[in-house]
């Protein structure tokens, strides 16, 4: 091994020891004396001064907050596509029984991908459109449960979700409407010091590269051993509906926001062979609990003449993205339903909530009405 590289690894070992003993001290469970800690600290300080090497997680350095001018666009090293979706539990149960599958919580946050080289976190990217995402490394380095260094030195790519637990969201619920939007906005801030105050959590649910094992379930177990927080999973000894209940109970106890269940082929080769469309991977399915509602602003009411000569109102609103599709308008069926949904006097600037009914048809579900 290169002498400089060997020296850096030895320094990292010392940094890891100091950080471990600091953690134990902060937990009220000190394992060494202050004198011993100081001795190691001064040894590290002398080493750094002599070599000019300063590791990012060294206790001699302040937390390395960064402010960026903008979030740079980055092309993913693997397609980050979604899964096909259903709200029909019989369809989900049939998919589950068609293969040996792993059942996981569908986290309700912002999907991102982490990449490690030589045991060090080197990139973090949002999902974006599945091909192009945004560089959020400056903020990922401040998320407390994302390991900056791991005891695995081959390339490792981990996909997962940035979330805010319901408990952590309590401090912000008067300013933000839900944990999902809060997490999505917070991890995309330009100032990493501000992002670090948001108490975000990363939950890993896939290993794209590395950890050479046959099954995803085994890879996720190994991720846990590497100090990643891993997605709550079901137990294949139970039926699919019982697994759903088990996962929901675990997520409720942890305060994790979820909006459904993910079913994937456990065998990684089978998952790869199943292939993909332009939109989703075929080796998995998302069972959604409900149609999600997205907040936007009403811009106008337009009128469309139907075949029978009846005018139908159409709500036009600020663009929102649902399931990878940008939506700007939705039918309000008739005047009666329009008034029932929007109130007697719909107005420009009115806050509305839109869903895709059965994940197909855009629908204005409700509105903030005038007092």
- pTM for the complete prediction? 0.69
Residue with tokens 């001018």: 69
What's the token pair of residue 351? 């806050």
User: Which active-site residues does the annotation give?
Assistant: 106
> Cα separation of 276 and 284, whole Å?
10
What does the DSSP assignment read for 12-50? HHHHHHHHHHHHHHHTT---S-HHHHHHHHHHHHHHHHH
Residue with tokens 């305060």: 255
Q: Per-residue confidence of the chain (371 residues) as pLDDT tens digits?
A: 455 667 777 888 888 888 888 776 555 566 877 667 767 877 887 787 787 777 767 777 655 556 667 889 999 999 888 888 888 899 999 999 999 999 999 999 999 999 999 999 999 999 987 888 999 999 999 999 999 989 899 999 999 999 999 999 999 988 877 888 899 889 999 999 999 999 999 999 999 999 999 999 999 999 999 999 999 999 888 899 999 999 999 999 999 999 899 999 999 999 999 998 776 889 999 998 876 778 899 999 998 877 777 788 899 999 887 766 788 988 888 888 888 888 887 778 888 888 876 556 788 888 887 65
C-alpha 361, offset from chain centre? 26
**Pick from 59, 48, 52: which is nearest to 23 by CA?**
59
Task: Give Cα separations from 32 to 10, 21, 38, 342 (angstroms).
Answer: 20, 7, 10, 65
Query: What's residue 51's pLDDT?
Result: 78
Query: What's residue 68's pLDDT?
Result: 63
């Amino acid at each position: 091994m290169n002498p400089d590289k060997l020296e850096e690894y030895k320094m990292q070992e010392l940094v890891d020891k100091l950080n471990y003993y600091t953690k134990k001290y902060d937990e009220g469970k000190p394992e060494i004396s202050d004198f011993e800690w100081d001795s190691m600290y001064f040894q590290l300080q002398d080493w750094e001064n002599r070599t000019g090497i300063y590791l990012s997680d060294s206790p001699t350095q302040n937390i390395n907050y960064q402010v960026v001018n903008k979030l740079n666009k980055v092309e993913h090293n693997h397609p980050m596509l979604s899964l096909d979706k259903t709200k029909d539990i019989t369809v989900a149960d049939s998919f589950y029984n068609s293969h040996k599958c792993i059942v996981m919580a569908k986290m309700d946050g912002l999907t991102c991908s982490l990449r490690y080289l030589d045991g060090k976190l080197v990139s973090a990217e949002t999902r974006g459109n599945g091909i192009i995402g945004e560089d959020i490394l400056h903020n990922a380095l401040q998320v407390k449960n994302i390991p900056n260094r791991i005891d695995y030195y081959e390339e490792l790519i981990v996909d997962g979700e940035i979330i805010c637990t319901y408990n952590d969201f309590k401090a912000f619920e008067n300013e933000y409407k839900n944990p999902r939007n809060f997490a999505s906005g917070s991890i995309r801030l330009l100032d990493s010091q501000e992002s670090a105050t948001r108490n975000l959590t990363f939950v890993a649910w896939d290993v794209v590269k590395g950890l050479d094992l046959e099954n995803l379930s085994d890879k996720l177990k190994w991720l846990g051993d590497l100090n990643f927080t891993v997605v709550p999973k079901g137990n294949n000894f139970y039926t699919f509906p019982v697994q759903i209940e088990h996962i929901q109970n675990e997520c409720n106890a942890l305060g994790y926001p979820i909006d459904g269940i993910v079913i994937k082929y456990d065998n990684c080769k089978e998952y790869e062979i199943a292939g993909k469309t332009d939109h989703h991977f075929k080796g998995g399915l998302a069972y959604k609990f409900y149609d999600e509602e997205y907040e936007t602003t009403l811009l106008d009411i337009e009128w469309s003449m139907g075949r029978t000569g009846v005018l139908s109102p159409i709500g036009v609103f600020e663009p929102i993205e649902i399931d990878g599709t940008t939506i700007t308008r939705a039918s309000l069926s008739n005047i009666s339903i329009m008034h029932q949904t929007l109130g007697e006097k719909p107005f420009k600037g009115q806050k509305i909530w839109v869903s895709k009914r059965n994940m197909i048809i855009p629908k204005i579900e409700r509105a903030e009405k005038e007092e």
